[in-house]
Structure 1
Amino acid sequence: MFVYNEDVKMEDLGAGVSRKVLAHSENVMAVEVHFETGAVGALHTHPHEQLTYVLSGAFEFTIGDVTQVVRAGDTMYKEPGIEHGCVCLEAGVLIDNFTPMRKDFV
């Protein structure tokens, strides 16, 4: 029911990206993703719906054929199967929410 950030292990994904898998069930998952300046979230697709909240920093995001710069406080929606990725312009943290949960993350 409660997940305390200090109790969750940070997973180093390499190339300036790391993440913490936070609270989740079979239906929904929250993930905290940390990026160093210049780090890349490679273009990819998955069958999950995804909402991303920019907690801090600045990112150039591509979702489908659209590329925009987003900053702290901005939110993005990614429908299932749409190609998306980002480049971190200023070190920051994203909060990703997936439905259903990403079984490949646990």
Structure 2
Amino acid sequence: MSVFKSQLAFELLDNGLTRRQGLMSDGSTAWEVKFAAGIFDQLQKRPYPQQIRILSGIFEFTVGSDVHTLIAEETLLIPAATVFGCFCLDDGILLEIQQSA
């Protein structure tokens, strides 16, 4: 399993999330995102596929019309150009890892 190494300091986003960019040990671009319970990350769509890796907490992800509940050490692959969002059920941290198309 590849490991995250930060490149920038954490920044506070408008929606209450805290995020920092870095690289995985395999060279993939990634973002470490901290959530407080009750925070909703807006619906979004990326042009590339990405892997979500839960480091701690409990999250509910909506991907297209499917809903997934994830806990620490679980992952979810989000296909390119697919609408997704998440709701944090318990304080947590996740990695958003950009995948090759």
- TM-score range, shorter-chain basis? 0.7 to 0.9
Q: Which residue of 2 aligns with 1:9?
A: 9
Within 5 Å, give how 1:20-39 maps onto structure 2: 20-23=20-23, 28-39=28-39
Superimposed CA distance per residue, residues 46-68 of structure 1 (whole angstroms, 9 cap, x where no aligned partner):
10110010000001100111012
Q: Which residue of 1 aligns with 2:63?
A: 63
Q: Is the 8 A contact 2:51 2:99 kept in 1?
A: no
Q: Which residue of 2 aligns with 1:47?
A: 47
Structure 2 gaps of 5+ residues are none
User: Sequence identity, in percent?
Assistant: 29
Q: Check 1:82–1:4 CA distance in 2 against 1; reply closer, same or farther (3 A cut).
A: closer
| Higher helix fraction (1 or 2) | 1
Structure 1 gaps of 5+ residues are 101-106
Provide TM-score, normalisation by structure 2. Answer: 0.84
Whole-angstrom distance in 1 between the partners of 2:68 and 2:99? 24
- When the two chains are superposed, the root-mean-square deviation of aligned CA atoms in Å is 1.9
State the 1:23 CA deviation. 1.9
Alignment coverage as a number of residue pairs: 95
Q: Check 1:62–1:4 CA distance in 2 against 1; reply closer, same or farther (3 A cut).
A: closer
